[in-house]
Structure 1
Amino acid sequence: MKQLTFAPRHHQLTNTNVWTPDSRWLAFDVRPSGALFTGKTIERVNVETGEVEVIYRATQEACVGVVTVHPVLEQYVFIHGPENPDERWQYDFHHRRGVLAGAAGVTNLDAMDITPPWTPGALRGGSHVHVFSPNGELVSFTYNDHVLHERDPALDRRNVGVAAPYGPVVVPGRHPREYSGSRWCVLVSRTTPSPRPGSDEIHRACEEGWVGNHALAFIGDTLAVNGETVPELFIVALPQNEAGWKRPGSAPLTGTATTLPAPPSGVVQRRLTFTHNRPFPGLVHTPRHWVRSNPQATDIAFLMRDDDGVVQLWLISPSGGEPRQLTHSVAGIQSAFNWHPSGKWLGFVLENRIACCDAHSGVITFLTDGHGQPPSADAVVFSPDGRRVAWMEERGGFRQLWVTESGLE
């Protein structure tokens, strides 16, 4: 078990894709806390030497954070807050964008156009937690809409979007806060302000994860017959060519004055879990986790309580069917999780230690012991070569980065 960072400041890992492809560097941001978004730099640390490098430094009072790494290239994508924030336009869910930084320079991922008529391929608000697909061609994100937020914040429901490599998207720039982007961006989830109780309709989509290169799974908040919110697992198959990404469905890709941007034609939202009648219905939002498929795209993992109310790992096929409970621990799983690149294990925090479980048997193996403080619940991430696992842990009042050998193949 090795501490990588020592500076008297917080070091924040994103929940996945934080390693460079060569498994030598970890990318992170430096916000003062997980919830306070005021960091000015995106950085990386060499896991062998401890050397720290600045990847990107924000200017004009902007803030940056939540960085992830391309699976093949030395390219980074992260949240960028507004430059020169003022009383009318500050960092918020609907006031942020994705930015790509790498050898080719720095570019906006998504365009924003908030002045009608809106531009196809541009969005109207803020994107968040950008994650490359396994082959690096697409980028997923969650989204909030400025246009509807200004109309009525209750209409601004979180959704899942994708940036496809069919840009650039150039907007007219009729508003000083608008900007162009390098990728064609659309929403792929569909939500409604008032889901019908007991139906497959959802009022929020979040915590998405790639299922291969052409599908996304995510958590969708449904309503039970009694009106209680029940988070269920959903999946969408994605277009596989440029025409598919740009072809509107039954509603405009750009949205309207009263509706959110709509998915392209052929993107159908399908529900995978049906848990309303369980003793503890629904996937859990605490600990916060992102659904994750194994590299073979044959199993999607998520967290849900067992019949005794203990948070466990569960698996389900992307085709649907009955979920399989993988872990049977007495203590609940305490963190977000990730798959080992072999697809044979999953890593997470259990009993205040870094643990992994066999993806077939559910047998638990502990990789660490004797932590000074419990590992953070935000991120437990294997390196691309599978040899190491990284996490965050507090030392001296500051969140630091740690790694240990996984011992897995």
Structure 2
Amino acid sequence: MEEKQITNDLSYHHDLDNNDNFSPDGEWLVYDTRTDSGGIAASSKIEKVNILTGEKRILYEIKNNQVWGPGAGAVSYNPKENSVVFIHGLASSSEANPYQQWRRTGVIVQDSDPNVPIFMDARDMTFPYTPGALRGGTHRHEWSGNGQWIGFTYNDAIMKALEDSTGTKQNLRTIGVSKKIKPVIVDQNSENISGTWFSALVVRVVPEPTPGTDEISNAAGDSWVGQNGYINKVGKRQIARAFLGTVPGQKNKAVPEVFIVDIPEDITQPGEHGPLEGTKTTLPMPPKGTLQRRLTYTANSEKPGCSGIVRSSPDGGYLAFMAFDKNGIQQVFIISPNGGKPVQLTEHGSDVSGNIRWHPDGQRVSYVWNGSYVLCKLGNYDFKERFEIITKPTNPAPTNAVWSPNGKTIAFNRLIKNGKDSAQQIFVREIN
């Protein structure tokens, strides 16, 4: 079961970006073509490669893209249909006003109709703002297991401008979702975009969280809980996203903790904190029925904080994340979406370095440790019997692992050098 290199071109990266890159049939991997000089802004193409033949196809290309944008990157496949979603910088990007966290949107492209962008989330920068539209930039788009939702992180351009004008902290990262309820039409200009899906922010963040409360100033590291939600305490299946929320810890030091937000089926109704579309001085607010809960409490420990992307088992029964054990070593922990005490999964003698992903069987978790990808089984085994090293150790370590839908193949990036040239290349390995 040797590793197999799938891409070879050293002129650009083939970046999987820790997304869901396998096509529904498991035969293709989708990636962006970013460069070191410009990152996603300099990625002019979304490509896919066949893991069996090495054939490459362009799904989307921006002609005359510049180092400042617009750019197209961080792409994921729909698990149910042959379509992808990715970041797209604004068409008005320029050297003076480049691609930014708050100047981007989500675009869908069908495999059968390449180079035809479907703008997913609407963007309305003109007051009064529009319910269902946002006012900034979406990022790390992730399809739900049934392909009916897209989750993302978000930065708001209105609040960034307010921060610049007042000198007060306002540019806060948070989390939103989109659902194909109805198109959202806005007045067209170089900063506005009409969208085909309805969008709402679902996590509330505040500039200065009150110590001792569960208020947060930042939300990121998010993913869907289960392929179809989780079973809550009253026995009902609930749609949700898990994430890291930043709370004030000792001496007001920022500490990321694991949170979950329950999301209502109907995201079109405003909630208690304000309008869905936001105001000139406030972020868009979560819809009625969202419930934001804290799951971990590490802030007062000797080495506080959780890290990585919080990843859910396919059935929604467990969330996996990284935190420090009693010896100060970063390990993988799991916790129920309903709360309770976290359970330490790994027992390594040195830090787990990240990239947690669940195997599709829901009984194993993969991650990077000591320069290799490791696969660790859940259950009452001796730890040495539970973990298996599945890639050769390298420095730098492999990154951006993703499992095929049937769980028989793991794909990942390695940085390959040849003289002065280097690029992220895609590798795959078959797994028993």
Q: TM-score range by the shorter chain?
A: over 0.9
Deviation at 1:87, TM superposition (A): 4.6
Residue equivalent to 2:200: 186
Deviation at residue 354 of structure 1 after TM alignment: 1.7
Q: Deviations over 1:215-259 (max 9, x none)?
A: 10110000014201111111111112xxx2111012000111111
Q: 1:248 is matched with which residue: 257, 265, 270?
A: 270
Aligned to 1:219: 244
Q: Could you tell me which amino acid in structure 2 is paired with residue 166 of structure 1?
A: I
SS at 1:222's partner residue? strand
The alignment covers a number of residue pairs equal to 397
Identity across the alignment (%): 37
Separation in 1, partners of 2:221, 2:205: 15
Counterpart in the other structure of 1:137: 148
TM-fit CA distance, 1:171 = 0.3
Please name the residue that 2:326 is paired with.
307
Q: C-alpha distance in 2, partners of 1:224/1:369?
A: 38
Are the counterparts in 2 of residues 93 and 126 from structure 1 also a CA contact under 8 Å? yes
Q: Which amino acid aligns with 1:247?
A: Q
With structure 1 as the length reference, what TM-score do the two structures score? 0.94
Question: Aligned with 2:341: secondary structure?
Answer: strand
**Aligned-partner Cα distance in 2 for 1:186–1:163:** 6
State the shift of 1:60 in Å: 5.6
Letter in 2 for 1:171: V
1:376 aligned residue (398, 408, 420): 398
The residue number in structure 1 matching 2:174 is: 159
Aligned to 2:45: 41
The Cα of 1:369 is off from its aligned counterpart by 2.2
Unaligned segments of structure 1, at least 5 residues:
none
Instruction: Give the one of 198, 222, 233 matched to 1:208.
Output: 222
- Stretch moving more, 358-367 or 130-139: 358-367
Matched residue, 2:233: none
Alpha-carbon distance in 2 for matches of 1:263, 1:155: 17
How far does residue 370 in structure 1 lie from its aligned partner after superposition?
Answer: 5.4
Distance 1:114 1:309 in 2: 46
Q: Distance in 2 between matches of 1:206 and 1:167?
A: 27
1:205 is displaced (CA, Å) by 0.4
RMSD over equivalenced CA pairs, Å: 1.5
2:303 is aligned to: 280
Q: For residue 146 of structure 1, what is the aligned residue in structure 2?
A: 157
Q: Which residue pairs with 1:230 in the alignment?
A: 255
Q: Is the 8 A contact 1:16 1:338 kept in 2?
A: no
* Cα pair 2:322 2:354 within 8 Å, conserved: no
Other structure's SS at 2:205 match: coil
Q: Does 1:121 align with 2:143?
A: no
Distance 1:368 1:125 in 2: 39
SS of the residue aligned with 1:152?
Answer: helix
Shift of 1:198: 2.2
The CA distance in 2 between the partners of 1:106 and 1:86, in whole Å, is: 20
State how far apart, in whole Å, the 2-side matches of 1:337 and 1:65 are. 21
CA distance in 2, matches of 1:147, 1:307: 43
Judging changes above 3 Å, is the alpha-carbon distance between structure 1 residues 260 and 60 closer, same or farther for their aligned structure 2 residues?
farther
Could you tell me how far apart the structure 1 residues matched to 2:405 and 2:84 are? 15
**Residue matched to 1:316:** 335
Q: CA deviation at 1:364?
A: 1.1
2:285 maps to amino acid: A
Amino acid aligned to 2:162: R
The one of 4, 11, 24 aligned to 1:2: 4
What residue is the counterpart of 1:239 in the other structure?
264
Q: Distance in 2 between matches of 1:230 and 1:6?
A: 40
Structure 1: distance between partners of 2:28 and 2:328 = 38
Tell me, yes or no, if structure 1 residue 90 matches structure 2 residue 98: yes
Once the 2 structures are TM-superposed, how far is the Cα of residue 176 of structure 1 from its aligned partner? 2.4
CA contact (8 A) 1:375 1:392 kept: no
Is 2:57 the partner of 1:32?
A: no
Are 1:265 and 2:265 counterparts?
no
> How far has the Cα of 1:278 moved from its partner?
1.9
CA distance in 1, matches of 2:305, 2:367: 20
Letter of the 1:306 partner, please give it: D
Q: Aligned pair in 2 of structure 1 residues 87, 399: CA closer, same or farther (>3 Å)?
A: closer
Give the deviation of 1:202 after TM superposition.
0.3
Aligned to 1:11: 14
Which one of 375, 381, 388 corresponds to residue 409 of structure 2? 388
Q: Deviations over 1:264-321 (max 9, x none)?
A: 011011111111222211103xxxx211110010000001111222111000000000
> Shift of the alpha carbon at 1:374?
3.3
- Please list every run of 5 or more consecutive structure 2 residues that lacks an aligned counterpart in the other structure: 229-238
Letter in 2 for 1:99: V
| Cα distance in 2 between the residues matched to 1:393 and 1:382 | 16
SS of residue matched to 2:267:
helix
Cα distance in 2 between the residues matched to 1:16 and 1:232: 22
Counterpart of 2:364 in structure 1 is 345
Contact 1:5 1:402 in 2 (8 A): yes
Distance 1:59 1:239, change over 3 A: farther
Contact 1:335 1:376 in 2 (8 A): no
What TM-score does the superposition give when structure 2 sets the normalisation length?
A: 0.89
CA distance in 1, matches of 2:206, 2:214: 11
Which amino acid in the other structure matches residue 191 of structure 2? Answer: R
Q: Supply the distance in 1 between the matched residues of 2:356 and 2:95 (Cα, whole angstroms).
A: 38
Kept in 2: contact 1:41–1:54 (CA 8 A):
yes
